[in-house]
Amino acid sequence: MPKDIFTMDDFDLKGKTLLLRVDINSPINPSTGEILDDTRICHHIKTIGELNNSKVVLLAHQSRPGKKDFTNMEKHAKKLSYRLNKKVNYIDDFFGSRALTKVKNMKKGDVVLLENARFYAEEHVLKGKDYSKQAGTHMVSHLAERADYFINDAFAAAHRAQPSLTGFTEVLPSLAGRVMEKEIEMLEKALHNKERPSIAILGGIKVFDTLEIMRNMLKNKVVDKVLTTGVVANIFLLARGHDLGEPNISFLEREVGEYEELTEQAKSLENEFGGKITVPRDLVVNEDGKRKAILLDDLPAKLRIFDIGLDTAVEYRKQILEAKNIILNGPAGVFEIEEFAVGTTIIYNAIAESKGFSVIGGGETVAAARNLNLEGKVDHISIGGGACISFLAGKTMPAIDALKHSKKLYDEGHYRK
Ligand code: 3PG
Ligand code: MG
């Protein structure tokens, strides 16, 4: 853990009132309101469980205004109670008198979950504004008055600057929770690991983000080589002058957007880092739901590309097994359909087998990893989607910066005034 951030080991938290920001934003069935997957909830259980001698006030958000799964936090409290094996009280308020009275009357060992932070205008209006302004909001100032520490465990939202994530650090000594701590530690380790060879396998459909990750990693010599898969690979094939065929071009137009701009970016990456970027040598198209292997010479394809080919997967596997540092983001193909999960499966299993240090990025990649039971076989699987991408791309992470800022303030005696 970087020395410029406090963790839960730095303070005696017994009996203290703690504001613990978690990210339990979960997929919800919009018609029944049921939480479909509680992976994120399960991750935070470790942090909450460790604080059983404190008074824990959980702050969280669910979705965004206007979305069908923009709900209150009642179901989350039920799931938390179940996973924690202890009652977590849901309060349908964040900084009004009901919430404040409840917090004031809490006893050691109590855990409460406040309302969806994004139900309140301040969370949106002061987004990205300077943190001292955020500290002056009702949602921050009223709650902070009743608490001793702010703990941020919401790594998956650490790329956002909103009062519930970055406002408390101005007014309360702030520390990283266990999820935040582990994410920073493991992702930093992957980015700074000096062992070689170091490779990244980058795929999936979020090509804009992925090209940023690629540039950051190659420029800063985090990796010596990038193996491309998924839609990312298709863009590099275009950049090398291959014609992917009409069905694939219209897919890119429809699902990825400005693919021509991406192709230009891919070309410039090739120019700058020539030889370090590998593209597949064979592909698989979807012929009536079945795999059909094609070579690059067979392009343009009349059918949609759904996976990397077997030769490519085997070659990538070999490189993964030789690597000492491995960073993966994004699946190799349409892994949700078993027939086309072959490339993804071979690559993920190679990572599990490899002795190198390995991290798998968040988002859709996590679902692929879960399907393959990779937990425990990979050094780290991030729970962040956008947050993990931002971290790997070397972007600023407001919530993490705010924690660093808080430590500085603490060391200067700011909170004692
Ligand atoms: C996420 O799921 O990506 C985080 O919870 C952040 O949510 P947001 O992308 O809506 O800010
Ligand atoms: Mg998101």
Q: What is the pLDDT of residues 30-50, one digit of tens each?
A: 889 899 989 999 999 999 999
Of ligand 1's listed atoms, the one at least distance from the Cα of 387 is: 3
Q: What is the pLDDT of residues 256-265, one digit of tens each?
A: 999 999 999 9
Q: What is the pLDDT of residues 272-314, one digit of tens each?
A: 998 999 999 999 999 999 999 999 999 999 999 999 999 999 9
Residue 174 reports pLDDT greater than 80: yes
Residue 344 reports pLDDT greater than 80: yes
Q: Whose CA is nearest to atom 4 of ligand 1?
A: 157
Backbone φ/ψ region at 235: left (φ over 0), alpha (ψ -120 to 50), beta: alpha
Which residue type is seen at 309? Answer: G
Query: In what side-by-side order are the strands of the sheet with 88-90?
Result: 6-7, 174-176, 149-152, 17-21, 55-59, 111-113, 88-90
The CA distance from 317 to 294, in Å, is 19
Among 112-116, 338-342, 365-369, where is mean pLDDT lowest? 365-369
Who surrounds ion ligand 2 at CB < 5 A? Answer: 386
Could you tell me if the CB of 160 is within 6 A of ligand 1? Answer: yes
Could you tell me if the CB of 25 is within 6 A of ligand 1? Answer: yes
pLDDT band at 324; cut points 50, 70, 90? very high
The pair of structure tokens assigned to 242 is 């291959």
Q: Is 286 exposed, middle or buried (0-12, 13-18, 19+ CB in 10 A)?
A: buried
Q: Residue 156 CA: which ligand is closest?
A: 1
Could you tell me if the CB of 49 is within 6 A of ligand 1? Answer: no
The pair of structure tokens assigned to 235 is 């863009």
pLDDT band at 397; cut points 50, 70, 90? very high
Q: What is the pLDDT of residues 143-155, one digit of tens each?
A: 999 999 999 999 9
The CA distance from 59 to 143, in Å, is 11
pLDDT for 374: 85
Mutation to probe ligand 1, out of 21, 22, 23, 152 (largest number of atoms < 8 A from CB): 23
pLDDT for 417: 62
Ligand 2 centroid vs 385 CA: distance in angstroms? 6
Residue 345 reports pLDDT greater than 80: yes
Mean pLDDT of 356-374: 84
CA distances for 366 relative to 181, 208, 347, 380, angstroms: 19, 19, 14, 11
Q: Which ranges constitute the DSSP H helices of 146-204?
A: 178-192
DSSP-derived pairing of the beta strands 111-113 and 282-287: unpaired
Q: What is the pLDDT of residues 304-313, one digit of tens each?
A: 999 999 999 9
Q: What percent of the chain has pLDDT over 90?
A: 88
Comparing 130 with 166, the larger pLDDT belongs to 166
Mean pLDDT of 311-319: 98
pLDDT band at 368; cut points 50, 70, 90? confident
Q: What is the pLDDT of residues 200-250, one digit of tens each?
A: 999 999 899 999 999 999 999 999 999 999 999 999 999 999 999 999 999
Residues 204 and 330: beta-carbon distance below 8 Å = yes
